[in-house]
C-alpha cells in the first residue's frame, strides 16, 4: 500500500481554513491546491493523501473530504491514478484546440489542409437557402434528410447502418461529449490506450469519469491487458481510434479487433469507436461497430475530410441506446445547426466530399515523402497518406526539452506528455502535423529545423 509522507498539503489546507472560516471545506481545499501548485509547494504529479488519511489529520468527516476530492477532480486540479490514488494534475496544454500562433510554424495542431476545402459559395448556390426549415427547431437527432446523408457518409468508413440509427452532432468532439454524457455516470471507469487523444482526458475530468490506461504495442491496445483491467477495475466503456490512432498512427489488425469485441461482450463494456482519421488511409478494416453492433458507438466526422469549420459529425448508435444519446444532444446544444448539416449533406451526396478527400490525400502523400526525406535516419511512424507523423526522440532528448527547443527555434510540436494517461509518459516522442502549415516550403523549413535539433 502507498503511504503519503509529504504533509505540506495539510498545512496549506489548515492555513486556508484559518483564513477563510466561513467558506465550505471544499472551497478551502481547492484554494490550497491552487496556491500549492502556483508556489511550488506541491508538484504536479504528486500523490495526495488518501481520503481517510486527510480526514484523520484534519479531524473532519470522511464524507466532507470525499466531496472536496470530487470537486477538485471536476475543476481538473486532480487526477485519479489506478492503483495509486489521487495526484495533483499536470496542467494541460490543449494541443488539439486552435490557438493563435502567428510567429510559429505550427506542427502541433492537425489542420487537415484547409486550403483544399470545397467551395462554400458553390454549395450555397445549390442548396435552397430560402427553406425556412433550416431556421426552425428540430429533433436533437437531426432532420431525416441529414441523417440519411450521415448513413451514406458512414459507408465511407466501411460501416453499413440504417439512417434510423444516425444522430447528427456538431463535430466529433460534441459527438464524444454526447456519448460520455449519455452512456456513463460520475465515477465510471473508461479504458483507453495509455497514449491517446488528449481531449478525451479533459472531457472525462469534467464529467468525473475515470480513465484507465491500457498497455499498447505497435498494433494498438493489447487485448489481454484490457481483459485484466475488466476483471480488476469494473470497466464500463472502451475508447478507441482503431484505424489511425491519434497520435501514434497505430492500426488495430483484424484478428485483434475480434479479440477486443469478444472481451467487451464478456464484460459488458460499451465501445466508443472514434475513427476520424480512418478516411486518410487507403487500407480499410472491419469497423468494431460491424463486429459488435449491439454495444459500439461509431463517430463519423466530416471535419478532417471537408472543413474544420463545418462542425458536423454523425453517431451510429445501437437501437437500445439511441434515446439516451439523443437526450444528451438535446441537453448540450438542443440540435446541430440544420444549415451546416445541409451543406454537409450536399457535399456528401454530390460527390464533392469524395473529390475533396482525394485531393487532401494526394497532398498528404507528397508531404509524407517530404517528411521521410528530411528526417531520414530517425525513428518515425508515418502513413503514405496520413495527416501527421509520430517521431521518436533519440537520447538525450526528452518530451519537454525537445518541445522547448523546437519552440525556441520557431516550431510548435505536440509531445507525448499531452497524450499520455500516466506520468511520466511511456515514450519520448512528438506528433508532427503535416497540414499545419499551408505551403510545402514552410513545412520544409519547419522539418529542417526539427532535423537540425535532432542532429545537434
Q: What is the dihedral of CA 254, 255, 259, 264, to 10 degrees?
A: 10
Please give the Cα distance from 232 to 229 (Å, whole number).
5
Q: Is residue 427 a contact partner of residue 351, using CB atoms and an 8 Å limit?
A: no
* Residue 270 pLDDT level (bands cut at 50, 70, 90): very high
Q: Is residue 205 a contact partner of residue 79, using CB atoms and an 8 Å limit?
A: yes
Could you list the beta-strand ranges (E) of 47-180. 78-81, 85-88, 105-106, 166-169
pLDDT at 111 over 70: yes
The DSSP code sequence of 233-246 is H-EEEEEE--SS-T
Q: How far is CA 327 from CA 57, 223, 246, 300, 341, in A?
A: 44, 32, 29, 19, 19
Q: What are phi and psi of 298, to 5 degrees?
A: -100, 130
Please give the Cα distance from 86 to 81 (Å, whole number).
6
Return the CATH class of domain 8-88.
mainly alpha
pLDDT at 227 over 60: yes
Contacts of range 28-31, beta carbons closer than 8 Å, 24 or more positions apart = 29/68, 29/69, 29/71, 29/72, 30/68, 30/71, 30/72, 30/75, 30/77
Specify the higher pLDDT residue, 50 or 92. 50
pLDDT at 280 over 90: yes
The hierarchical CATH code for the domain 134-349 is 3.40.640.10
Tell how strand 189-193 and strand 210-214 pair up: parallel
State residue 60's pLDDT score: 92
CATH topology of 8-88 equal to that of 105-115+354-455? no
Please give the Cα distance from 252 to 255 (Å, whole number).
8
12-31 pLDDT, tens digit per residue, is 898 988 888 888 898 889 88
Share of the chain above pLDDT 70, in %: 95
The DSSP code sequence of 331-397 is HHHSS--HHHHHHHHHHHHHTHHHHHHHHHHHHHHHHHHHHHHHTTTS-EE--TT-SEEEEEPPTT-
Contacts of range 200-205, beta carbons closer than 8 Å, 24 or more positions apart = 200/176, 200/239, 201/92, 201/421, 202/76, 202/92, 202/94, 203/176, 203/177, 204/180, 205/73, 205/74, 205/76, 205/79, 205/89
**Which residues make Cβ contacts (< 8 Å) with residue 397, sequence separation at least 6?**
428, 453, 454
Please give the Cα distance from 368 to 104 (Å, whole number).
21
* Residue 169 pLDDT level (bands cut at 50, 70, 90): very high
CATH architecture of 105-115+354-455: Alpha-Beta Complex (3.90)
113-162 pLDDT, tens digit per residue, is 999 999 999 999 999 988 999 999 999 999 999 999 999 999 999 999 99
What cell does 373 get? Answer: 526525406
Measured over the CA atoms of residue 168, residue 172, residue 174 and residue 176, the dihedral's sign is positive
| Per-domain boundaries in the chain | 8-88, 105-115+354-455, 134-349
Provide the greatest CA pair distance for the chain.
70
Amino acid at each position: 500500500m502507498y503511504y503519503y509522507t509529504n504533509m505540506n498539503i495539510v498545512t496549506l489546507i489548515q492555513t486556508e481554513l484559518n483564513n477563510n472560516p466561513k467558506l465550505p471545506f471544499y472551497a478551502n481545499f481547492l484554494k490550497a491546491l491552487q496556491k500549492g501548485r502556483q508556489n511550488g509547494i506541491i508538484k504536479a504529479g504528486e500523490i495526495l493523501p488518501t481520503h481517510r488519511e486527510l480526514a484523520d489529520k484534519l479531524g473532519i468527516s470522511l464524507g466532507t473530504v470525499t466531496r472536496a476530492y470530487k470537486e477538485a477532480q471536476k475543476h481538473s486540479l486532480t487526477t485519479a491514478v489506478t492503483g495509486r490514488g489521487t495526484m495533483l494534475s499536470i496542467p494541460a496544454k490543449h494541443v488539439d484546440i486552435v490557438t493563435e500562433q502567428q510567429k510559429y510554424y505550427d506542427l502541433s495542431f492537425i489542420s487537415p489542409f484547409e486550403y483544399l476545402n470545397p467551395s462554400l459559395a458553390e454549395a450555397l448556390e445549390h442548396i435552397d437557402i430560402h427553406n425556412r426549415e433550416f431556421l426552425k427547431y428540430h429533433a436533437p437527432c437531426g432532420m431525416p434528410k441529414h441523417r440519411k446523408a450521415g448513413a451514406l457518409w458512414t459507408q465511407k468508413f466501411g460501416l453499413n447502418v440504417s439512417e434510423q440509427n444516425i444522430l447528427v452532432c456538431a463535430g466529433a468532439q460534441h459527438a464524444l461529449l454526447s456519448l460520455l454524457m449519455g452512456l456513463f455516470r460520475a465515477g465510471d471507469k473508461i479504458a483507453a490506450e495509455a497514449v491517446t487523444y488528449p481531449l478525451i482526458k479533459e472531457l472525462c475530468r469534467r464529467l468525473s469519469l475515470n480513465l484507465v490506461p491500457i498497455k499498447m504495442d505497435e498494433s494498438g491496445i493489447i487485448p489481454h491487458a484490457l481483459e485484466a483491467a475488466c476483471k480488476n477495475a469494473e470497466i464500463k466503456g472502451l475508447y478507441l481510434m482503431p484505424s489511425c490512432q491519434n497520435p501514434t498512427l497505430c492500426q488495430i489488425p483484424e484478428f485483434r479487433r475480434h479479440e477486443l469485441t469478444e472481451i467487451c461482450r464478456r464484460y459488458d463494456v460499451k465501445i466508443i469507436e472514434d475513427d476520424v482519421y480512418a478516411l486518410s488511409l487507403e487500407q480499410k478494416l472491419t469497423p468494431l461497430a460491424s463486429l459488435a453492433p449491439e454495444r459500439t458507438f461509431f463517430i463519423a466526422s466530416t471535419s478532417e475530410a471537408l472543413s474544420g469549420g463545418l462542425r458536423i459529425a454523425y453517431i451510429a448508435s445501437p437501437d437500445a441506446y439511441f434515446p439516451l444519446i439523443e437526450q444528451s444532444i438535446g441537453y448540450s446544444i438542443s440540435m446541430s445547426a440544420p444549415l451546416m448539416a445541409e451543406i454537409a449533406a450536399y457535399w456528401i451526396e454530390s460527390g464533392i466530399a469524395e473529390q475533396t478527400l482525394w485531393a487532401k490525400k494526394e497532398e498528404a502523400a507528397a508531404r509524407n515523402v517530404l517528411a521521410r526525406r528530411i528526417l531520414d535516419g530517425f525513428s518515425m511512424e508515418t502513413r503514405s497518406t496520413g495527416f501527421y507523423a509520430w517521431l521518436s526522440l533519440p537520447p538525450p532528448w526528452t518530451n519537454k526539452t525537445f518541445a522547448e527547443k523546437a519552440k525556441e527555434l520557431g516550431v510548435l510540436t505536440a509531445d507525448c506528455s499531452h497524450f499520455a494517461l500516466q506520468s511520466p509518459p511511456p515514450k519520448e516522442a512528438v506528433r508532427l502535423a503535416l497540414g499545419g502549415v499551408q505551403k510545402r516550403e514552410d513545412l520544409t523549413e519547419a522539418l529542417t529545423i526539427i532535423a537540425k535539433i535532432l542532429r545537434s
